[in-house]
Every structure is written in structure tokens, then in C-alpha cells.
């Protein structure tokens, strides 16, 4: 939330500096995210008078001005503004000043042969508004030579982060109240001018008492809607609001000053009584953001006899909004149920200032006061005659009383605060403290539920910086490791993945339902009843959708390639509806594997993309880092419908225990995620990897063999559909002591190879033990290898 120092001092009598106020806000739990001082941007600009204005001798649309800056001799300034004339007062930027709108530093320069010593500025150039048709015209009483920042009352602006549990600080007065309680000044009493009404009150009723417990309103006739006064516009701009018109600005001012949203209807566009009711199924409304929304019966609306005019507590409708021609208005001050507001806002995807406040909970006791303040603002600025007030329903203002023990402040808060100071703090925050420490909470403090919350209020106002840092007690001796084997494996995997050039991503655990269903493989999804948004409703059954979305964002921003990994959890419904979480590692390889280059290669110098073998290499390397027995893994098909059937596989230990799946994604999957392929993916199921039998932290001592290994090459004819990995596994198993390695170095099919067969050449490493192999032993091992291969349907080529 943003507000200016000048606006804060409207509610708080204080001489504290900007930095003192910022420090106090941080101490009491209202974090200051930034401070902007407009005076810094306006340095070098001052009030000046145009003494003379003459046509430029060499440019039809330029004038040469003689400008009095209050420093003695007038300055010559070249200006192209059509409203520049002798006698007017404006704002002159002197050499060295930086124009806020474009960052240009002003210098003395010759424009068409005439030296110009600065620039007369427009509203847009100083970022004071959107007007740019001419230079700023100041009133006749503007003092020449005064710094424009001083003249314009430019005030520092605070940007404060308000946590969701503090809706009472969603208005400047609430922040002033907290600062006053913290001793940074005195809260000014709120003076409310009660404007007496005349004439019949408007017809208002409530049909949905659950969604809208209270609805107050009154009519003001004979208003003149124009621009709001400069002081109001200045404060609204400081808060980041764009001034619209006096009527609308008054409602925004009430919301930002007191945290109380309100609404103004053009009375001429209404028909019959205004009713707070549930929307009809399929009813529509064109909202003030110029979007049309379709409503359903779970939503509370404000409507007349003909149509809906307001999505209750979220956004008004365009049809009945106030315009320049509006003369009669209906003022609305209502209390809406926070939970219902949240559900409606998420369904419609509307984020508005009103929703933010109603969803968190506004002050239910501020209806009459809010309506009186709004009426006074409108009558003062726009004129008009207000009617009597209609009050429909009752706001939930029942008192909440908490029995409090002051000793809890020391035991829970960790700081000693005298009892009289505790009482002062609570009373300064509008809590009523009885002699027996029965504390009645103000209705606006929805966050106070028990004694611990009162301790929090006392400690933060007393000063969070006064809570001493106390180390936790620690047992003597060496601390035992607390990380679980899975946590240790995940740490090792992160290092291994990063070492292989992969970038770690952290994506949402929630997905749109359609994306989750695409990767569910028939499993029952976890779908949230109260999601943060409709697009984040299902718990992810796979890590790949989030990584694919990240790869798409990278591609949309011009990234040539993405190498992403994530370690997280997949979520399923287990037996009896219990949550079933699966630790998983996901990898996505998209775009270019290597950029185009001059070197001659099989790709003709073009950029090279990823393929299924790259995905397999990542899967094998990461499985090995996780401690999986990679030498014993089988490569099998059926990676899932999301993968390309001819360019993907699974890695298994036995036919049922699936460790990972890898390969190219199916074109249907790429289309669903709006990606252009090919894209490779890996998913490793960490819970499927068996724990190591030797859990020791120490490695076995490295003992290299004393004798040199020998290699032998074998060329086999095998069925065309036989996986080379199955053949290699069979060869390695021929003699587990002597055969220490086997790898494929050639695959051939064609001339000289029978139909339906292929030639696979395998290099086998034989490692002797205590003595070198004899020729007979090598021959015997070779026969074992050929026999093992034969069991896979292979025969030795002649």
C-alpha cells in the first residue's frame, strides 16, 4: 500500500522524519518496501515567469522566451508549446536537471541558432499527469524562483507491505493509529461532519443475508461531477490511483484513507429498489474494467428490477457508473462476507482494491461513519442535497472478549513489558481493557482470536527489535546428523544435475486440471476445493508439466535452449482417500543442444537439438548418482501416452520395478503445452530406488588391479528387434568375475546381413586376477560369452 507523508500527517500529529517513520513501521511489523521522494525527481525545476515571447527567427513553430527565474538576469529559452506567452508563470528546468518522464539531462544548447538555457515543462514531462498539449500554467500568486518541489508540496511516498491478517491497516488512518500507539506522534481525532438528510430515503433491501449482512445507502441529488480538488488528486496519485472524476475519486479516497470501499451509482440509470441478492445462473454484467462476466447463484450482487449493477464487494458495473452528466447519485456502503468475496473473486478472476479489502475483512462497525464521510466529501466538492439514510440488515459487530494474562507477554513474546505499558498499548489500539484484564476487541480486528494474538500486538508495538536473540539449548558433544537418507540423496542429485549443466527450477505444486489430467495416466487426482486460483486447482501428478511451462516461458523470451531439472513431489489419492506423495526428479531438454557453428559435422554446421539418447544419458547418470544399480537396469518400452512411442522407454529393475522413464515427448503433448519440438524429458522415481545395503559414509579404498586387462571384440547376428542393452547385459553376466565391462561399438544392417537380423559388435573387457589369463582360459571365457549371447538369440558372425 502506498501513501504520502502529507496524507499520513492528516491523521497523525508528528515531527518524525521520513527515516524515523520508516524505522518505526518496520519495528511494528509493517514492512517498508520502498520510499520515493518526488522532490528528488523535481530537483533543478523552479517556478519562473515568462517576460517576453517572440517568434523564432528560423522556425515557424518555436518561440524565443525571456524567462525570469528570480536570480537576476533573465534566461533565454526556446519553447515549442502553443500556450507559451508573455506574463504567464510556469515551470523551468535548468541545465543539469533530469526530466522525470524520459531521463534526459538538460543542457545549454543551440536550437536553430538560438541558445536555450533550459526547458519550460509540461505536466507529462514532470510525470504529474497525462497532459502534454502545452507547458504548465501556474497561478499568478506562484512565487518566482521557488523550487517547484517546494511549491507543489511534493511529499515522500511510503510503499508498505500489509500482511493479509491486517486489513485494519489497508487505510492510511489505520497505519497512523499503529504509529501513534508506538509513540511516534498523536492520532488526530476523527472529525465526521454529519450531513443532515432531507426527503425520502432510497428503497434498499437484502435477500442474501449471508453474502451481504448489511447494506446502507442514501441519495444525493443535484451534484456537479467534474475534476476533484488538487489536494485529493495529489493524495490519490501518491497512492498509485488515477484520478477519474470527483464522484469516483471521493469513493477511492474513502477506501484508501479508511480502508472502507464504497460505490456510487448514477440514479438516473437505476430502476426500482436496489437489492443485495444471489445472482441468477447465467446472468451477466459488464464491469468497470470493460469486461463482461457470467455469474452463478453462489455470487452476491447488487441489482435493481432490470439488471445487475455491481458484483458485490468486488467491482461495479459500467452501465450505472457516474459520468460527467450525472446529477443524482445513490451512495452504497455495505458489508460483504469475506469468504464469499474470496470464492467469487477467484471464480471470476478479478483482482480489485475492493476485493482485497473485503476479502480480508473490513471494519463492520464503520458503516454509518463511512457513509457520513463520503456524503460530506461529495456535498463539499460536488454540491447536492442528501436524502435520509436507509439501513438494511445488521453488520456483525458483536464484541469479542478475551481473558488475558499479562504474564504471557514475557513467556510467549520473550520480552518484559510492564503491565501499565501493556494496558496503554492495547488501549491505544482501541482495545477495551477491564480491571480484571478482560479485553474487548474492536470489530475491525478480525485477526485477534486469543491471548497469543494480544501478546503479538503488545510485542510489535513495544518493538520487535527489543526481543532478545536467545540461542536454542544444545546438548554437549557432537550433534547427530538429522537429514534422512532421502534428503541426502536429493542433495547429492542436485549437485550431480547442476554439474551436468542442468538448471534447477522450482515450479508450482498446483496445475490446471487439464494439464494434470494429461499426465495422470488414469490415477485419481487431488483437486482442491479452495485453490489460490482456478488455474491452480489440481495437485501435480508429474513434475513435467511445470518444467514444460518453464521451458515455454524461456522460449517465448528468446532462449535458444532449456536444460531444466526439478526435485519435488507428485501427489495422488492413496487408499481410503489418503494423500500419497512420491519423491521425483524431472528433467526437460528443449531447444538447441548446441548452437550452429563452422565446424563440419554430421549436422552440416547447423544448430543441433536434443534426442532420446541425450535423455537416456541424463537418466542413467542421475540414477547412478542416486545409488541405483544402473548396470542391472533393463530398457523397456511403454513410457506412457505422453511420450513418443518410438523414441522413449523406461528403465526397470525387473519387469515391474520402474525406476525412470525417458525420451521424446509425443506431438500431442507438445501441442497441449504450446511447445515446438522435439522436446526430451526424464522422470526418475526416487521412491523406487532401493536403499544401499552399505550405508556407511566412507568409500571403499581404491585398489586397482595388479594385472593389465585385455579386450576382445565379438560381432553377433541378432534379431532386428533385440535391444542392444539386453545383449550387453547377457555378455556381462557370462562371467561376473572376469568380464568387467562390455560396450557396443558398432551396429550394422544391410548388405551381407540376413533379412530381419542386424550385426552388433561388442567390446568385452576381461580382467585377470592373481595371474594372467592363459590362451585356454581366454578361449573358455570367449565360449562362455558366445553361449550367453546365444540365449538372447545371437550367433557369432563368421
Closest CA to 350 of 304, 312, 321, 303: 312
Residue showing cell 511510503: 158
Indicate whether 550 pLDDT > 90: yes
From start to end of 2-137, where are the E strands? Answer: 2-4, 12-13, 31-36, 45-56, 59-68, 75-79, 89-93, 109-111, 114-116, 119-120
**Tens of pLDDT, residues 678-715:** 999 999 999 999 877 665 555 677 788 889 999 999 99
Q: How far is CA 522 from CA 501, 529, 589, 640, 686, in A?
A: 34, 21, 26, 11, 21
Q: Which of 109, 60, 61, 57 is nearest to 82 (CA)?
A: 61
Only one residue has cell 537396469, namely: 633
Between helices 775-790 and 724-732, what is the axis angle to 10°? 140
Structural contact between residues 214 and 367, judged by C-beta atoms closer than 8 angstroms? yes
Per-residue model confidence as pLDDT tens digits over 280-339: 999 999 999 999 999 999 999 999 999 999 999 999 999 999 999 999 999 999 999 999
Domain 40-151, architecture per CATH = Beta Barrel (2.40)
Q: How far apart are CA 663 and CA 677, in angstroms?
A: 12
Cell of 310: 455491481
DSSP state of 136: -
Long-range pairs for 426-435: beta carbons < 8 A, 24 or more residues apart: 426/454, 426/457, 426/458, 428/177, 428/180, 428/181, 428/187, 428/461, 429/177, 429/178, 429/181, 429/457, 429/461, 430/177, 431/457, 433/404
How far apart (Å, rounded) are the C-alpha atoms in residues 107 and 99?
11
**pLDDT of 193-220, one tens digit each?**
888 888 889 999 999 999 999 999 999 9
Question: Which candidate, 389, 258, 395, 253, places its Cα nearest to that of 332?
Answer: 389
In this prediction, residue 151 carries a pLDDT of: 87
How many other CB atoms sit within 10 Å of the CB of residue 234? 20
Return d(Cα 657, Cα 680) in angstroms, integer.
Answer: 22
| Residue whose C-alpha cell is 546381413 | 753
- Does residue 72 have a pLDDT over 60? yes
pLDDT score at 449: 93
Annotated binding residue 457 = yes
CATH superfamily of 204-393: Phenylalanyl-trna Synthetase, Chain B, domain 3 (3.50.40.10)
Confirm whether 40-151 and 485-597+605-688 share one CATH topology.
no
Instruction: Check whether 578 has a pLDDT greater than 80.
Output: no
Query: How do 657-665 and 608-609 pair as beta strands?
Result: unpaired
Question: What integer pLDDT is reported at residue 724 of this predicted model?
Answer: 87
Helix (H, G, I), strand (E, B) or coil at 96: coil
What is the C-alpha to C-alpha distance for residues 669 and 678, in angstroms, rounded to an integer?
11
The reply, when asked if residue 15 is annotated as ligand binding, is no
Give the β-pairing of 643-653 and 634-636.
antiparallel
Buried b or exposed e, range 389-405, using 16+ CB within 10 angstroms: bbbbbebebeeeebebe
| 723-764 pLDDT, tens digit each | 888 899 899 999 988 999 999 999 999 888 899 999 999 999
Burial 459-471, CB ≥16 within 10 A → b, else e: bbbbeeeeeeeee
Distances (CA, A) of 517 to 514, 525, 644: 5, 8, 18
DSSP character string of 603-658? TTT--EE--HHHHHHHHHHHHHHTT--GGG-EEES---TTEEEEEEEEEEETTTEE
Can you tell me the distance from the alpha carbon of 126 to that of 121, in angstroms, rounded to the nearest whole number?
7
Helix (H) or strand (E) run with residue 6 in it: helix 5-11
Does pLDDT of 230 surpass 90?
no
List the alpha helices (DSSP H) in 441-600. Answer: 451-463, 485-499, 513-518, 544-556
Q: Indicate the pTM of the whole model.
A: 0.65
Angstrom distance (rounded) from CA 332 to CA 316: 11
Regarding the domain delimited by 400-466, which CATH topology (the fold level of the hierarchy) does it fall under?
Phenylalanyl-tRNA Synthetase; Chain B, domain 1 (3.30.56)
Stretch among 391-395, 577-581, 652-656 having the lowest mean pLDDT = 577-581
Domain 485-597+605-688 is found in CATH 3.30.930.10: yes
What is d(CA 170, CA 160) in angstroms, rounded to the nearest whole number?
10
Q: Is 447 labelled a binding residue?
A: yes
3-state secondary structure 737-767: CCEEEEEEEEEECCCCCCCCEEEEEEEEEEC
Per CATH, which fold does 710-796 belong to? Alpha-Beta Plaits (3.30.70)
Q: At what angle do helices 230-238 and 246-258 cross, to 10 degrees?
A: 50
- Residue 371: left if φ>0, alpha if ψ -120 to 50, beta else—which one? alpha
Looking at residue 130, its pLDDT comes to: 73
pLDDT for 603 equals 59
Question: According to the annotation, is 456 in a ligand binding site?
Answer: yes
Q: Tell me, what's the pLDDT at 699?
A: 65
Interatomic CA distance for residues 551 and 590, integer angstroms: 7
Angle between helix 485-499 and helix 612-625 axes, rounded to 10 deg: 140
Percent of the chain whose predicted confidence (pLDDT) is above 70: 98
Q: How much of the chain, in percent, has pLDDT values that exceed 90?
A: 75
**Residue ranges per structural domain of the chain:** 2-37+156-187, 40-151, 204-393, 400-466, 485-597+605-688, 710-796
C-alpha cell recorded at residue 679: 522436446
pLDDT of residue 600 exceeding 50: no
Please tell me the CATH code under which domain 2-37+156-187 is placed. Answer: 3.30.56.10
Locate 362 and state its grid cell: 473490513
Q: How many residues does the chain have?
A: 798
- The residue to which cell 497512523 is assigned: 176
Amino acid at each position: 500500500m502506498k501513501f504520502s507523508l502529507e496524507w499520513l500527517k492528516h491523521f497523525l500529529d508528528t515531527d518524525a522524519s521520513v527515516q524515523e517513520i520508516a524505522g518505526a513501521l518496520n519495528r511494528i511489523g509493517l514492512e517498508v518496501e520502498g520510499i520515493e521522494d518526488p522532490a528528488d525527481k523535481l530537483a533543478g525545476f523552479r517556478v519562473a515567469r515568462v517576460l517576453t515571447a517572440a517568434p523564432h527567427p528560423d522556425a515557424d513553430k518555436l518561440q524565443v522566451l525571456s524567462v525570469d527565474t528570480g536570480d537576476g538576469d533573465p534566461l533565454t529559452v526556446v519553447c515549442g508549446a502553443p500556450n507559451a506567452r508573455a506574463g504567464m508563470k510556469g515551470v523551468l528546468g535548468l541545465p543539469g536537471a533530469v526530466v522525470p518522464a524520459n531521463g534526459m539531462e538538460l543542457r545549454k544548447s543551440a536550437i536553430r541558432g538560438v541558445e536555450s538555457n533550459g526547458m519550460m515543462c509540461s505536466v507529462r514531462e514532470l510525470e504529474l499527469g497525462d497532459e502534454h498539449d502545452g507547458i504548465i500554467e501556474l497561478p499568478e500568486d506562484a512565487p518566482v524562483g521557488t523550487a517547484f518541489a517546494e511549491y507543489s508540496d511534493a511529499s515522500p511516498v511510503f510503499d508498505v507491505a500489509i500482511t493479509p491478517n491486517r486489513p485494519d491497516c489497508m487505510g492510511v488512518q489505520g497505519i497512523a493509529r499503529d504509529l501513534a500507539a508506538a509513540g511516534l506522534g498523536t492520532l488526530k481525532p476523527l472529525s465526521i461532519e454529519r450531513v443532515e438528510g432531507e426527503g425520502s430515503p432510497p428503497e434498499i433491501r437484502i435477500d442474501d443475508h449471508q453474502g451481504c449482512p448489511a447494506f446502507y445507502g442514501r441519495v444525493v441529488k443535484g451534484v456537479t461531477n467534474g475534476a476533484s480538488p488538487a489536494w485529493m488528486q495529489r493524495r490519490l496519485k501518491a497512492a498509485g490511483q488515477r484520478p477519474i472524476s470527483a464522484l469516483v475519486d471521493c469513493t477511492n479516497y474513502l477506501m484508501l484513507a479508511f480502508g472502507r470501499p464504497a460505490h456510487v451509482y448514477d440514479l438516473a440509470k437505476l430502476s426500482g429498489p436496489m437489492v443485495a441478492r444471489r445472482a441468477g445462473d447465467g446472468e451477466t454484467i459488464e464491469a468497470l474494467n470493460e469486461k463482461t462476466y457470467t455469474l452463478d447463484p453462489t455470487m452476491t450482487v447488487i441489482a435493481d428490477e432490470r439488471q445487475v449493477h455491481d458484483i458485490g464487494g468486488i467491482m461495479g458495473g459500467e452501465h450505472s457508473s457516474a459520468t460527467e452528466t450525472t446529477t443524482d447519485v445513490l451512495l452504497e456502503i455495505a458489508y460483504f462476507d469475506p469468504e464469499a468475496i474470496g470464492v467469487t473473486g477467484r471464480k471470476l478472476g478479478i483482482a480489485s482494491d475492493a476485493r482485497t479489502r473485503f476479502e480480508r475483512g473490513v471494519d463492520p462497525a464503520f458503516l454509518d461513519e463511512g457513509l457520513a464521510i463520503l456524503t460530506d466529501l461529495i456535498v463539499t466538492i460536488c454540491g447536492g442535497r442528501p436524502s435520509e439514510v436507509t439501513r438494511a440488515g445488521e453488520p456483525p459487530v458483536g464484541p469479542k472478549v478475551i481473558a488475558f494474562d499479562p504474564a504471557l507477554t514475557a513467556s510467549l513474546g520473550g520480552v518484559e513489558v510492564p503491565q501499565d505499558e501493556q494496558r496503554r498499548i492495547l488501549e491505544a489500539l482501541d482495545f477495551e481493557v477491564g480491571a480484571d484484564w478482560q479485553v474487548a476487541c474492536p470489530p475491525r480486528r478480525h485477526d485477534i482470536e486469543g491471548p497469543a494474538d494480544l501478546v503479538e500486538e503488545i510485542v510489535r508495538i513495544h518493538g520487535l527489535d527489543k526481543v532478545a536473540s536467545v540461542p536454542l539449548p544444545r546438548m554437549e558433544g557432537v550433534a547427530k546428523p538429522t537429514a534422512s537418507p532421502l534428503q541426502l540423496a536429493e542433495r547429492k542429485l542436485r549437485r550431480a544435475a547442476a554439474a551436468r549443466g542442468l538448471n534447477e527450477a522450482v515450479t508450482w505444486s498446483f496445475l490446471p486440471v487439464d494439464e494434470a489430467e494429461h499426465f495422470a495416466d488414469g490415477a485419481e487426482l487431488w483437486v482442491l476445493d479452495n485453490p489460490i486460483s482456478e488455474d491452480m486447482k489440481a495437485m501435480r501428478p508429474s513434475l513435467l508439466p511445470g518444467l514444460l511451462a518453464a521451458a515455454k516461458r524461456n522460449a517465448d523470451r528468446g532462449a535458444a535452449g532449456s536444460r531444466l531439472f526439478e526435485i519435488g513431489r507428485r501427489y495422488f489419492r492413496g487408499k481410503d482417500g489418503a494423500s500419497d506423495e512420491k519423491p521425483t526428479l524431472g528433467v526437460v531438454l528443449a531447444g538447441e543442444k548446441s548452437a550452429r557453428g563452422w565446424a563440419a559435422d554430421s549436422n552440416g554446421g547447423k544448430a543441433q537439438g536434443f534426442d532420446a539418447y541425450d535423455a537416456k544419458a541424463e537418466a542413467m547418470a542421475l540414477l547412478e548418482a542416486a545409488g541405483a544399480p544402473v548396470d542391472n537396469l533393463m530398457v523397456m518400452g511403454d513410457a506412457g501416452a505422453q511420450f513418443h512411442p518410438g523414441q522413449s522407454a523406461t528403465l526397470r529393475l525387473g519387469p515391474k520395478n520402474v525406476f525412470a522413464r525417458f525420451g521424446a515427448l509425443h506431438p500431442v503433448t507438445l501441442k497441449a503445452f504450446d511447445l515446438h519440438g522435439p522436446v526430451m524429458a526424464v522422470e526418475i522415481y526416487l521412491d523406487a530406488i532401493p536403499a544401499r545395503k552399505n550405508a556407511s559414509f566412507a568409500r571403499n579404498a581404491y585398489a586397482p588391479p595388479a594385472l593389465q586387462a585385455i579386450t576382445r571384440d565379438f560381432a553377433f547376428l541378432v534379431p532386428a528387434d533385440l535391444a542392444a542393452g539386453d545383449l550387453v547385459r547377457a555378455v556381462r553376466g557370462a562371467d561376473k568375475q572376469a568380464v568387467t565391462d562390455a560396450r557396443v561399438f558398432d551396429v550394422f544392417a544391410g548388405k551381407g546381413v540376413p533379412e530381419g537380423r542386424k550385426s552388433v559388435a561388442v567390446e568385452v573387457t576381461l580382467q585377470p586376477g592373481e595371474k594372467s589369463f592363459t590362451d585356454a582360459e581366454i578361449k573358455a571365457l570367449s565360449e562362455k560369452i558366445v553361449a550367453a549371447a546365444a540365449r538372447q538369440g545371437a550367433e557369432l558372425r563368421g
